[in-house]
Amino acid sequence: MKHRSDQPHHSSAPKQAGSPRLHRRALLKGMGLTALGSMAGLGIGCALPRIRREVSEGELLINPTEVSADNGLLNVTIKAQYGQYRLAGKDVMLRCYDGKPIGNTLRVKTGDTLRLTLENHLPYDPLQELCTAVPTVEDNTPKGFNVTNMHVHGVHVSPESPSDNILLLVGYKQTEHYRYEIPSDHPPGTYFYHAHFHGSVALQVASGMAGALIIEGPLDEIPEIKAAKEQVLCFQTPRVNKTGVCENYTVLDQPGDTLINGQLKPVIRMSPGEVQRWRLVNASHMDNMLFGIQDQGFTALCFDGNPLDYSKIMDTAVLIPGNRADILVKAGAEPRRQAIYRDISQEDSEDNIIAWLEVTADTAKDMPLYSGALPRPDGLDDIEPEEVTFGRRLEFGMSGDPKGRKYTVNGQPFSCLDAWQIPLNAVEEWEVYNHTSESHPFHIHVNPFQMISGGDVEPGTWLDTVNLKPFERIRFRTRFQDFTGTFVFHCHNLTHEDLGMMQAVNVYKP
Ligand SMILES: [Cu+2]
């Protein structure tokens, strides 16, 4: 994410992975067809009018149901199951949490305990007889669509059971009791949780097995921020076949709509002069976004849950899969409707609109928009070169036959057997090179990193997910602090992850 207010929208915005798709969508639009029409089977003209009528565009944005911690504890049970509902005007049957297109929003404070019980109500999957965890001999093919587990994305907690262990397998009728102790100095902001069984991550997350996780802290006590009404916007790109199901990875690669909390082009209503806090989550399995609002800037507070040193006025926010942003939006003085784009560099494309901001004719509020310093959590002090104990160079790449290609880290697809060993309290500088012609969102569990260069990000920004453009080289520094255990870094284009672009690291006590 980068401060781009000094740049015109149309000039140098980075080309996103979705650009060819958008181009195709623009062509479809020129032919009088919508992308939804294309999903339902292009060329079957008779199907289009019916589908278009069913599209429930223009409803008010509905925030996901929220459950909050009480007295320092949030106890929540989440059922992984099939859900049958209408999504963007289509009857679908998809894997999801609690029968809904997006999981409940979980809200805790720094220092709280989150006890999350995951029940697997999906059908029996024979894979669970073969292994009780991610297989040690890994073929890196899509599999295990009905086994699952849980990951709290971006949260600084132990990677070991009962905490954020993503090497677990939760099978048919099995229940896993997770317990996450949120540190009292945890960066307060927007996080999310999602399924993370290697082999079915993309299919399950794309289908809807994800939800927002909010951690409140000192930042939330700033009066102007506290006064702002919150809106949770989870961006998703569910993909279904003609019968409304998603049962293979071919379906996942199709172009299609970006939904927000399961809604197509919802309307966010604001009074003139009102300030709202929007919590943006890119929960898409693969689509990059360059978020922006027509004729309107916003104030960034946090990226990936990490508060900035100072609030920052921006026009656009890079949101690759796995990224979050906390922003303040102040409505204009006059009633009007403004488009919200998934890629504001393609403002001219109507298919690119994912929501509307509607400034009403209500009495003006003229709320103050916060501008100034933000409380910095302890763990986010700048990492200076002299603090670094080890440097690593790594490469995201591909190997094998183009048809049966594997996505790799340092030439090897994922294997549970070769975790890199890192001593606790190591401070490392990593240089990550993308040796492919595709974008790869780099994401690491447990510890955030501070950017030095690359990734379309201002140096110094703390993130847990950053984009690697084709053949780009990025650098960041990170502290392996507080927690020992095995966790992973991987590409957050989740189909790439399932195909091998993941590496385990084991942090040990020296
Ligand atoms: Cu990738």
What pLDDT is stored for residue 127 in this prediction? 84
Statement: residue 349 has pLDDT above 90: no
Omega prior to 142 cis, within 30 of 0: no
H helix runs in 190-247, sequence order: 201-207, 223-226
Could you tell me the distance, in angstroms and rounded to a whole number, from the CA of residue 194 to the centre of ligand 1?
Answer: 18
User: Which residue shows structure tokens 């990224």?
Assistant: 323
Q: What is the dihedral of CA 193, 198, 204, 205, to 10 degrees?
A: 40
How far apart are alpha carbons 370 and 375 in whole angstroms?
13
What pLDDT is stored for residue 131 in this prediction? 65
| DSSP states along 295-341 | TB-EEEEEETTEEEEEEEEESEEEE-TT-EEEEEEE--SS-EEEEEE
Mean pLDDT of 457-474: 97
Statement: residue 210 has pLDDT above 60: yes
Could you tell me the distance, in angstroms and rounded to a whole number, from the CA of residue 490 to the centre of ligand 1?
Answer: 8
How far apart are alpha carbons 180 and 110 in whole angstroms?
11
Taking the mean position of all CA atoms in its chain, how far away is CA 390?
29
Indicate whether this model's pTM tops 0.85. Answer: yes
Could you tell me the distance, in angstroms and rounded to a whole number, from the CA of residue 226 to the centre of ligand 1?
Answer: 37
What pLDDT is stored for residue 136 in this prediction? 57
What pLDDT is stored for residue 90 in this prediction? 93
What pLDDT is stored for residue 400 in this prediction? 81
Say if CB 311 and CB 300 are below 8 A apart: yes
Could you tell me the distance, in angstroms and rounded to a whole number, from the CA of residue 28 to the centre of ligand 1?
Answer: 27
Could you tell me the distance, in angstroms and rounded to a whole number, from the CA of residue 310 to the centre of ligand 1?
Answer: 32
Place domain 66-217 in its CATH homologous superfamily.
Cupredoxins -  blue copper proteins (2.60.40.420)
Q: 44-53, 150-159, 316-325, 488-497 — which is least confidently predicted?
A: 44-53
Mean pLDDT of 344-371: 92
Rounded to the nearest integer, the mean pLDDT of the chain is: 88
| CATH number given to 19-43+224-359 | 2.60.40.420
- For residue range 77-109, list pLDDT tens digits in order: 999 999 999 999 999 999 999 999 999 999 999
Omega prior to 162 cis, within 30 of 0: yes
Statement: residue 50 has pLDDT above 80: no
Could you tell me the distance, in angstroms and rounded to a whole number, from the CA of residue 372 to the centre of ligand 1?
Answer: 36
Could you tell me the distance, in angstroms and rounded to a whole number, from the CA of residue 366 to the centre of ligand 1?
Answer: 44
277-299: burial string, b at 16+ Cβ within 10 Å, e else? bbbbbbbbbbbbbbbbbbebbbb
| DSSP states along 395-456 | EEEEES-STT-EEEETTB---GGGPEEEETT-EEEEEEEE-SSS-EEEEESSS-EEEEE-TT
Statement: residue 41 has pLDDT above 60: no
Nearest of 323, 297, 332 to residue 9 by alpha carbon: 297
What pLDDT is stored for residue 2 in this prediction? 35
Who wins on pLDDT, 47 or 287?
287
Could you tell me the distance, in angstroms and rounded to a whole number, from the CA of residue 54 to the centre of ligand 1?
Answer: 34
Structural domain boundaries of the chain? 19-43+224-359, 66-217, 379-508
The environment of the single-atom ion ligand 1, i.e. residues with CB closer than 5 A, is 440, 491, 493, 496
15 falls in which pLDDT band (50, 70, 90)? very low
Identical fold for domains 19-43+224-359 and 66-217, yes or no, is yes
Say if CB 180 and CB 230 are below 8 A apart: no
Length of the chain: 510
Domain covering 379-508, topology: Immunoglobulin-like (2.60.40)
Could you tell me the distance, in angstroms and rounded to a whole number, from the CA of residue 497 to the centre of ligand 1?
Answer: 7
Pairing type for strands 73-87 and 90-97 reads antiparallel
